[in-house]
Amino acid sequence: MAQSIVFGIAGKVLEKLGNVAYEGICSVWGVRKEFAKLKDTLAAIRAVVLDAEQQQARTQELSLWLQRFKDACYDVEDLIDEFEIEAFRRQVLERGSTKRKVRHFFSGSNPLAFRFRMGYKIKKANEMLNEIAASMAKFRLTQKHETNVIHCERETYSFVKTSSVIGRDEAKQDLVNILMNPTDEKDIPVLPIVGIGGIGKTTLAQLVFNEESVKSHFELGIWVCVTEDFDIKQLMIKIIKSATGMNCKDMNKEELHKVLQDCLNGKRFFMVLDDVWNDDNKKWRELKDLLCEGAQGSRIIVTTRSLDVATITGTIPRYDLEHLSDENCLSLFLKLAFIEGEEKQHDNLVKIGEGIVKKCKGVALAVKTLGSLLRSTRVQHEWEVVRDSELVKLKQKENDILPALKLSYDHLPWHLKQCFAFCSVFPKDFEFGHHRLTQLWLANGFLQSPFENEEPEDIGNRCIQELLSRSFFQQYEDYLLFTKFKMHDLVHDLALSVAQNESLFLFDEEGKADSESLIAEQLPNNIRYFKRLRYLSLAYDGNIKRLPNSICNLQSLETLDLVGCRGLEELPKDIRYLISLRSLTVTTKQTRLQENGISCLTSLRRLIFSECENLEKLFEDIQNLTALRELYIHECHNLVSLPQGLKYLTALELLVIWNCEKLDLTMEELELEREEGGSLRKLAVRGVPKLESLPQWILLGSIKTLQHLYISNLNNLWTLPTWFQHFTSLQNLYIINCPKLSCLSEGMQHLTALKRLRIGGCPKLNKRCIEETGEDWPKIAHVPDFYCGDFETTTNDK
């Protein structure tokens, strides 16, 4: 069975305490004895954590004890990170001792002060662990290697694969008949579908929505997934988007009302309002009045878990959705747990499956989850564990958790538990792309691989596919270059629940918190009390002009996402005190960034400047960010130049420069100074019209490491450099919409690692690369995956 999060985190810290870097830290700073005490105490406590996890439901005191231990593990991990960062600084100092700017940065570093400060922190960490170890005796915990825990939990769009739905034909026909039944009512008839979470209300509505007779009967089909916040303006935007495809998010209510009137005027429409929680009759009437422009014969279906909502919204008798029969549940379960026909070879497992589906009590999503869970194993004992696990009784409340889904969560490896619980920071109905999610997981230290040198993207994609296969994620849209995912509402509730239990997201009724994750549209006044906050996103609030300086007290904060805060006039002056920050996304109105601000965040691994439209210059001392692996500069239209210190970021692996019209990347005076030793693996440059040739000062230091190069919309790029042939590790090359580029550089046939080449929107180059006959064809004939033509690419990733 899978490990708990606390058990896994403690194991991760113990692993750090035993690696090669730790040995170096002990030698340099003389902390071997203190760290040995930490290691021994932490290992002793970890040995009983699995038992504590299993018993914590019996007593809140034990749950709080586990939380204290988890906090202590994070503190020790932060300690090790500080030592590693300081060690990396010293390496850079030794490597670049002749460089004035690097020397200037480190001249203020005081080893004695650092040793004293860290010695005090180690002492406090040891004291905390000793207290935790002393108090665990009263719980009479024993060592365990496995844990069997239980629990369970739901999301939506209009598409459904009808062949994958079992047992709902009769219900579908009932609803179609009701919708087609003529009525003399002037008010639009509203039919509520009611049932507990996960029973299949959304699936039934999807079946009806996609029924051919329904499509032909109504002139307009509209599907809206309603959030818990029944915001009229947002609902108007969603209705218009579904009906017309128009994005009206920047309109006010009056403008939206006019567009909505034009959209519905005189048309017989069928609308599904899926997953409605609002029981405020006033709000419902306001929305209903906005829909009155539709023609006679229009219909609305509302799906909800609440009888109160059904009473408020319904104008005709509600439809109470019945549970699936045991027979249909078993058919669905076998369809998901086995490859077609395979169940005939496993009579013993089918027999156990009959017991499993009875536990699901007709809830289709629970059946789907357990079927997906067991698809990867044919071990009888593992099936029996699922069958024999005790399930709590379902209660019909808003935050209920379906036991089957929680059971599926308990079977996850601990690192996947962390990844899944982290997703509670996203709002319901949020569409996230694999790249953004992978980078957030990476910044928070969740991605680990048993394979040496495995790319983070590959690890992240594997985690996503695992969560997708177990029905924690739903694939929402599949584009050429990326895929969007969502979490079902019930699954999102599960993520919130387990994040609470793991203290990733804690609020009490008074609004006090000791949280590690928060996503909010407005900062609470007591933000400084969120001592364990690790993730803070203000990505969707354009009204914030200033952040309270108290945000800089959040010394456990690892990710700060300000993208979309276009009104932000400046960053907090004390942002340098966010010493644990690993990922920072900035949107600001500032023209320049203050010195001794972001440049002091030496733990940063990911830095994004997004839509900083007034920004003319980045901070000069960017070379201080010695741990920085990824730098994105996106839609900074007034940015003129990049700081010279960028060439000293030897840990940088990814650089993206996107739509910066005034940016000059030449920096000719730096080109001779550039040395090898860089680690850049991926470079993407798009929409930089001043660029005439690839920036030598960026690329020459990474000749041996660069694997992916994407250049696009470079209207004045006319040549590829002669040294291009030396990128012997290059695997993927995209050249898109560079109209002046007339030929490939000489020697490209030597790029034997090149696996994929895409050329498009380059008229002269396109002709020279025609297969077999083009003048440049001999240079690229060895590339196995080659395409040349006119095409557009989409690269959005939420």
**For the chain, which residues make up each domain, given as ranges?**
5-138, 162-320, 326-389, 402-500, 527-663
What is the predicted pLDDT for the residue at 338? 92
Please determine, for residue 151, whether its predicted confidence score (pLDDT) is greater than 50: no
Please determine, for residue 627, whether its predicted confidence score (pLDDT) is greater than 80: yes
In angstroms, rounded to a whole number, what is the distance separating the alpha carbons of residues 611 and 586? Answer: 8
Residue closest to 201 by CA, chosen among 369, 284, 320: 320
**283 CB-near residues (< 8 Å, 6+ apart):** 230, 232
578 or 359, higher pLDDT: 578
The sheet with strand 483-486 has its strands ordered as: 432-433, 483-486, 474-478
What is the predicted pLDDT for the residue at 192? 95
Per cent of the chain over pLDDT 70 is 79
The sheet with strand 654-658 has its strands ordered as: 517-519, 535-537, 559-561, 583-586, 606-610, 630-634, 654-658, 682-686, 708-712, 732-736, 756-760, 785-788
Average pLDDT over residues 178-205: 85
Please determine, for residue 526, whether its predicted confidence score (pLDDT) is greater than 80: no
What is the predicted pLDDT for the residue at 88? 63
In angstroms, rounded to a whole number, what is the distance separating the alpha carbons of residues 85 and 580? Answer: 11
DSSP string, 56-100: GGG-HHHHHHHHHHHHHHHHHHHHHHHHHHHHHHHHHHHHTTT-H
Q: Which of 42-46, 91-95, 636-640, 730-734 is least confident?
A: 91-95
Residue 38's SS3 state is: helix
Residue pair 38/125 in contact by the 8 Å Cβ criterion: yes
Q: Mention the CATH class of domain 402-500.
A: mainly alpha
Please determine, for residue 437, whether its predicted confidence score (pLDDT) is greater than 70: yes
Give the relative orientation of helices 32-46 and 5-16 as an angle to the nearest 10 degrees. 160
In angstroms, rounded to a whole number, what is the distance separating the alpha carbons of residues 516 and 580? Answer: 13
Q: Which of 3-12, 296-305, 495-504, 741-750 is least confident?
A: 495-504
Q: Which of 175-179, 462-466, 555-559, 720-724 is least confident?
A: 555-559
43 or 2, higher pLDDT: 43
For residue 271, give both structure tokens.
């609308």
What is the predicted pLDDT for the residue at 301? 96
Please determine, for residue 230, whether its predicted confidence score (pLDDT) is greater than 60: yes
Encoded amino acid at 569, one letter: E
Q: For 652-705, write each residue's pLDDT tens digit.
A: 888 999 999 999 887 544 443 444 567 888 999 999 999 988 887 777 778 888
CA distances from 418 to 423, 430, 487, 690 (A): 9, 19, 15, 44
Residue pair 693/742 in contact by the 8 Å Cβ criterion: no
In angstroms, rounded to a whole number, what is the distance separating the alpha carbons of residues 395 and 493? Answer: 14
Buried b / exposed e across 117-142, counting CB within 10 Å, b at 16+? Answer: ebeeebeebbebbeebbeebeebebe
What is the predicted pLDDT for the residue at 564? 66
H or E element in which residue 124 lies: helix 111-135
The sheet with strand 220-225 has its strands ordered as: 220-225, 269-274, 299-304, 190-194, 319-320
Residue pair 79/121 in contact by the 8 Å Cβ criterion: yes
Average pLDDT over residues 562-569: 75
Q: Which of 49-53, 124-128, 288-292, 387-391 is least confident?
A: 387-391
DSSP string, 558-575: -EEE-TT-TT--B--TTG
Q: Give the pTM.
A: 0.58
Q: What is the mean pLDDT of the chain?
A: 79
**Bridge partners of 732?**
708, 756
Helices (H), 425-478: 434-443, 456-469
**Backbone angles phi and psi of 546, in degrees to 5:** -140, 145
What is the predicted pLDDT for the residue at 423? 86
Residue pair 516/503 in contact by the 8 Å Cβ criterion: yes
Please determine, for residue 518, whether its predicted confidence score (pLDDT) is greater than 70: no
Residue 184's SS3 state is: coil
H or E element in which residue 484 lies: strand 483-486
What is the predicted pLDDT for the residue at 154? 42
Q: What angle do CA 202, 205, 208 make, to 5 degrees?
A: 155
Residue pair 606/633 in contact by the 8 Å Cβ criterion: no
Residue closest to 368 by CA, chosen among 379, 377, 358, 357: 357
Q: Running DSSP on this structure, what letter comes out for residue 693?
A: S
CA distances from 532 to 13, 93, 462, 493, 714 (A): 18, 33, 29, 22, 45
Strands (E) in 5-44, as ranges, are none
Residue pair 541/521 in contact by the 8 Å Cβ criterion: yes
Helices (H), 517-650: none
Average pLDDT over residues 561-579: 79
730 or 549, higher pLDDT: 730
What is the predicted pLDDT for the residue at 9? 81
In angstroms, rounded to a whole number, what is the distance separating the alpha carbons of residues 193 and 544? Answer: 40
**335 CB-near residues (< 8 Å, 6+ apart):** 164, 166, 371
Please determine, for residue 186, whether its predicted confidence score (pLDDT) is greater than 60: yes
Q: Of 13-22, 57-66, 521-530, which one has max mean pLDDT?
A: 57-66
pLDDT band at 619 (very low <50, low <70, confident <90, very high): confident
The CATH number corresponding to 162-320 among 3.40.50.300, 2.60.40.10, 3.30.465.10, 3.20.20.70 equals 3.40.50.300
To the question of domain 527-663 being in CATH 2.40.50.140, the answer is no
Q: For 257-266, write each residue's pLDDT tens digit.
A: 999 999 999 8
Average pLDDT over residues 533-553: 71
Encoded amino acid at 29, one letter: W
Please determine, for residue 629, whether its predicted confidence score (pLDDT) is greater than 70: yes
The alpha carbon of 369 is separated from its chain's Cα centroid by a whole number of angstroms, namely: 21
650 or 699, higher pLDDT: 650
Residue pair 661/688 in contact by the 8 Å Cβ criterion: yes
Strands (E) in 188-342, as ranges, are 190-194, 220-225, 269-274, 299-304, 319-320
Please determine, for residue 759, whether its predicted confidence score (pLDDT) is greater than 90: yes
What is the predicted pLDDT for the residue at 283? 92
**Bridge partners of 736?**
712, 760
In angstroms, rounded to a whole number, what is the distance separating the alpha carbons of residues 722 and 724? Answer: 5
To the nearest 5 percent, what fractions of the chain are helix, strand and coil?
45, 10, 45
Q: Which of 299-303, 339-343, 644-648, 696-700 is least confident?
A: 696-700
Q: For 592-606, write each residue's pLDDT tens digit.
A: 777 668 888 888 888
What is the predicted pLDDT for the residue at 656? 92
What is the predicted pLDDT for the residue at 581? 86
H or E element in which residue 632 lies: strand 630-634
Residue pair 151/410 in contact by the 8 Å Cβ criterion: yes
Encoded amino acid at 314, one letter: G
